[in-house]
Each structure stands twice: as C-alpha cells, then as structure tokens.
Amino acid sequence: MAIYALEQTAGRGRNGKTWEAPQSGLFFSQTLHFQSAPYTLAGLSLALGVAAVEALQEAISPHAALEILLKWPNDLWISQQKLAGILLEIAPNLAGQNSGQTTVVAGIGVNLAGAAGDDRTDLAAHGVSLDAATLAPIMLAHWQCAARRFELAGFANFHTRWAALDALAGQDVTLSDHPGVIWRAEGVGVEGALALRSGEGIERRIGSGEVSLSTRLAGRPRGHH
C-alpha cells in the first residue's frame, strides 16, 4: 500500500521531531514487507535513498540536470541543502506476523516548491517544475524494486551506487556524543555504517540512529575533492 499527500500538518521525523510542511511538496508513505526479522534491515533507509535519487532523476530528465546527492543516513541534498528526507518505522506486528516477517512503513518528503531556505532547497529553486502526481508513481516503482533487491542481498546491492552519491565523503562532521571532536567522513561500509576518522587517526563506525551528526559546511562541497 502507498499513499501520498500534498501537505503535512503533523509530520514526524527522527527522535520524535514534528513539523508542518506547506503545499507544493510530495509527502509519500509506502508499506514494505520483508520475510526477515527487523535486525536484518540495517541499511534499508540508505538503499531507499539511492532509489529516491534515481526516481527524481528519472522524473526530471531530460528537462534538467541536477546533482542530487545523499547525506548519510536519510537526506537528499542539492548543494549542501536538504531537498528531501526519509523516515522508516517498523510497523506493529500484524495478525499472523512472526519474528521472521517485518512490515516497514517507509516515508519520504520531497520539497517541490515553496520550501527553499538557508539549509533547505526545493526543485523549483533550481528551475525544475514537477508535480506530486507525476513523481509519486515513479517513486513507488523505484521503491518497490529497491525493496526486492534489498531482500536478496541487503545494502550490499546498493553500496556502489551509494558511494557515487555520497555527499559527505571527505567532509568534516561532528557527533552529538562528542561535539568537540572533528571527524572526517570516509564513506559507508557494506553494512550501511558511516566510517569516520579523527585528526588523531582514531577510527569509528556509527549506525543510523546511534548519534546525531552535523556537517561543518566549511568543508569542501562535492565535486571539488
């Protein structure tokens, strides 16, 4: 099942955050079913991020050429500004569902117009006119395909494509648990964890949801490494 809306008045984000989103966006949710336990789904939001970028590129091509990148773990970026965000929730157990089956509600909000600001952007700000009714079925098809591929081999099926879209590679970031330490992002592993290295050579890997991550926008933007 999938549903989309043009406006959100009680949107939910990570860590219980809420927001209101104006019209002229795509707010899309889809249920995905997996014949596996929840712990096997690490990296799913990253896989859906790859699929979302590819859906957007299909929807806007050949009318425009935009570099849409992925900010680990669940945002889509244009020029270090947020274009879209993805949120996954494990659905409560359904009748007959057991530990070997998992239902996920996957959602994405895409800024189509009227949302540009200091830290976020929309497609209209880049000269792209796209309506939700056009984008929704394309997103649905890409996410359905991504879910099937993910069930076969997990995030490993998407790792190379993610690396090509990685907005944080080579960027300086800070973490909420040690805000005084500056880390250099060194890509994402095949399990979906972000690899980091401090100036002292300390290595660390973090999984989605473990800590909050902030970028230091003084770092070099993608395309100038």
pLDDT digits (tens, 9 = 90+) for 17-50: 554 455 589 999 999 999 988 888 999 999 999 9
What is the rounded distance in angstroms from the CA atom of residue 83 to the CA atom of residue 119? 9
The confidence score (pLDDT) of residue 113 equals: 93
**Three-state secondary-structure class, residue 200:** coil
Report, as an integer, the average pLDDT of 76-104. Answer: 83
Whole-number pLDDT of residue 101: 85
Mean pLDDT confidence for 105-115: 93
Identity of the amino acid at 72: W
Mean pLDDT, to the nearest integer, of 181-203? 94
CB 27 within 8 A of CB 6: yes
Res 98: pLDDT: 57
pLDDT at residue number 223: 45
Q: Does residue 100 carry a pLDDT above 70?
A: yes
Question: Span 179-183, mean pLDDT?
Answer: 89
Residue 225 is predicted with a pLDDT of 36
Give the pLDDT score at 213: 83
Of residues 7 and 108, the one with the higher pLDDT is 108
Cα gap 139→53, rounded to integer Å: 9
**pLDDT of amino acid 220:** 46
Helix (H) or strand (E) holding 58: helix 44-60
Backbone angles phi, psi at 217, to 5 degrees: -70, -5
Q: How far apart are the first and last CA of the chain?
A: 41
